[in-house]
Amino acid sequence: MASMVWTRYAAIGDSFTEGIGDLHPDGTPRGWADRAAEALSTRAEGFGYANLAVRGKLLDQILDVQLPAALALKPDLVSVSGGGNDLLRPGTDVDVLAARMDEGVARLRAAGADVVLFTGVDPAGSAVIRRTRGRVALFNELLRATAVRHGAHIVDQWSMDVLRDWRCWSIDRLHMSPEGHRRVALAMLESLGVQDAGDWREPELAPLPALSRGARLLFDARWARGYLAPWIGRRLRGRSSGDLVTAKRPGLSPVGK
């Protein structure tokens, strides 16, 4: 069965969708959304792609600002990923967060766009972020219900065991590496039924050598000092890494331009 063809793709979200951790040759963020758009563009004439995602944004900001801007572009495909920054905050009400996402997906589907959602990755291997595991798992289940309710596609990153491998992550452990972004792009294309795009499961990664307890503690300490502490500092000052950042592709344009 032939896969569908889309010609107007808009991506909204935070740093994950912006592509932090995966760069174009000119140093600008690439990421899974750019990679997926590149593949989709080879299957449709006149293909246009917009990426409205901005690092550090909370779900309310994504849905209140980026979603209306995406709808104005009259897309036939929209990817929505958000809530991760919210879930890092202990006081977040997961049910309220999921309800907001559900409302956003309903708006997009009512406008005639196909929608792709993303569950969170299982954070079991992270010394700090694994404390959010229960909240992430609950949010994922509510996202799956939203996908069924509105006929949206969903990329189940939680079940992608390869994403637990640190080679799929940047040194900051918060953003994916080029390898992680590559695999997520292929998983998105698979969720859309795009054929012959490649398999996110390949190549299989050989197991990493085990670190001693001392080496692991040193690794964690360096990470906390270099990346966790600055992140906490921004939160205490009420600042975000995306405060001075604008969308890299605010309008639909051909891939590569």
pLDDT at residue 1, as a whole number: 41
pLDDT at residue 250, as a whole number: 97
**What's the rounded Cα separation, in Å, for the pair 78 and 84?**
18
Which of 129, 151, 153 minimizes the C-alpha distance to 228?
129
Q: Where are the beta strands (DSSP E) in 99-151?
A: 114-118
Q: Which CATH class is domain 8-202?
A: alpha beta
pLDDT at residue 79, as a whole number: 98
Q: Are 172 and 227 in contact (CB under 8 A)?
A: yes
Over the stretch 109-147, which tens digit does the pLDDT of each residue have? 999 999 999 999 998 887 778 888 999 999 999 999 999
Which of 78, 180, 66 minimizes the C-alpha distance to 121?
180
pLDDT at residue 4, as a whole number: 86
**What's the rounded Cα separation, in Å, for the pair 133 and 139?**
10
- DSSP class of residue 43 equals T
Q: Are 79 and 33 in contact (CB under 8 A)?
A: yes
Name the stretches of the chain with pLDDT < 50: 1
pTM: 0.90
Domain regions of the chain by residue span: 8-202, 213-241
